[in-house]
Amino acid sequence: MDFVDARRKSQFPRKILLAAGFITLFIFVFKKSPSFGGGSGKFSQHEPGVTHVLVTGGAGYIGSHATLRLLKDSYRVTIVDNLSRGNLGAVKVLQELFPEPGRLQFIYADLGDAAAVDKIFSGNAFDAVMHFAAVAYVGESTAEPLRYYHNITSNTLLLVKAMAAHGVKTLIYSSTCATYGEPEKMPITEDTPQVPINPYGKAKKMAEDIILDFSKTSDMAVMILRYFNVIGSDPDGWLGEAPRPELREQGRISGACFDAARGIIPGLKVRGTDYKTSDGTCIRDYIDVTDLIDAHVKALAHATPGKVGIYNVGTGKGSSVKEFVEACKKATGVDIKVEYLARRPGDYAEVFSDPSKVNRELGWSAKYNLQDSLSIAWKWQKAHRNGYSN
């Protein structure tokens, strides 16, 4: 695997603490890289029969699973990640699984750095981009809206501009059901009005608008996947969800359930019991990460120049938070303590998808149910109490 640091020197002081925290793993990757700094040459040239995919945010939870699937399917992959939310440990796992030169490259860079992004595109022959990189916590977005508009909307603009400038003509965009806000009726279809109610959803919709407006003036192949609540882990046990400790409070309910089951936290906090749902808690459509990535790969295969595809990716079935907690108790075998609190700002009562369009046009459907996903994820969590530090 090749490792490249695309940061400008002027950015180093701001990143020094982050870099220090990962120095041991960096050294490991340096030693294992066949041609650190210069690249093997394979990444910088198009090769017949080989599709080179840039995966932004590829060190993160969803992006790392996407990278694993792409590598298994014989794609060439370049990960770009600033490691603000991702795990270099996940990259290390991928590198160990696919050590052959020309398969996987990791570039440490921030998509908000226009010069670094241009340098990346100038030095690599990308055929397609899967854009996952984004901050993605609803509660955090209400507290830090400007951060979300910068990280999601502005960075997507820079990425699309770089794609246009360097002739990269296929984009698979990781969007969200949060762009719909709180629709009047369920299930959500692709024609449901987009009226986001929190900065996260608003920033994602703005990014979608940038992509869609540009697509009208180009022959870019665009696929936008609006997905629902992601859970689960790689069924082979290579990858899982490992948020930074300081982000646990903001993270997914599955992570909180597992932390409670392992005794890392005293119990689970459920926010909101007075919603207009059957048991008063929020209803969500929980989609397994393996199923989600399968939708991305199918979207890439179906991407057509000059065409735009927009798809909801979910199971089509909503589960309440209370139902989720009971499923988590069953998966872990632990009677998790639950504390019920007031609503979290920016949350909505009920969201679940109508996946009929993605079923029909891409031949995709969810294979894992809620219980299966949690059981698989629990196996990884038990084996990785400290995430990728184990």
Coil, helix or strand for 283?
strand
Q: Say what the pLDDT of residue 194 is.
A: 98
**Intra-chain end-to-end CA distance of the chain, in Å:** 22
CATH assignment of 50-383, among 3.30.300.30, 3.80.10.10, 3.40.47.10, 3.40.50.720: 3.40.50.720
What residue type is assigned to position 148 of the chain? Y
Coil, helix or strand for 320?
strand
Q: Running DSSP on this structure, what letter comes out for residue 355?
A: T
Whether 345 contacts 139, CB under 8 Å:
yes
Contacts of 340 (CB under 8 A, 6+ apart): 270, 273
Q: 154, exposed or middle or buried, with CB in 10 Å at 0-12, 13-18, 19+?
A: middle
pLDDT in tens, the chain (390 residues): 666 676 554 444 444 444 444 434 443 343 343 333 334 589 999 999 999 999 999 999 999 999 999 999 999 999 999 999 999 999 999 999 999 999 999 999 999 999 999 999 999 999 999 999 999 998 899 999 999 999 999 999 999 999 999 999 999 999 999 999 989 899 999 999 999 999 999 999 999 999 999 999 999 999 999 999 999 999 999 999 998 776 777 668 899 899 999 998 899 988 899 999 999 999 999 999 999 999 999 999 999 999 999 999 999 999 999 999 999 999 999 999 999 999 877 677 888 999 999 999 999 999 999 999 999 999 999 999 889 986
Count CA within 13 A, CB hemisphere, residue 65: 25
What is the value of pTM for the model shown?
0.90
What are the residue numbers of the active site? 200
Q: Say what the pLDDT of residue 6 is.
A: 67
Spatial separation of the C-alpha atoms in residues 321 and 325, rounded to whole Å: 6
Whether 188 contacts 354, CB under 8 Å:
yes
Pairing of strands 229-231, 319-320: unpaired
Q: Say what the pLDDT of residue 17 is.
A: 46
Whether 116 contacts 110, CB under 8 Å:
yes
Q: How far is CA 303 from CA 86, 215, 220, 231, 280, in A?
A: 27, 13, 9, 26, 41
Nearest to 95 by CA among 28, 19, 38: 28
Q: Say what the pLDDT of residue 139 is.
A: 86
- Domain locations along the chain: 50-383
CA 352 to chain centre: 19
Indicate the angle between helix axes 88-97 and 61-72, nearest 10 degrees.
Answer: 10
Q: Say what the pLDDT of residue 128 is.
A: 98
Nearest to 220 by CA among 260, 169, 180, 293: 169
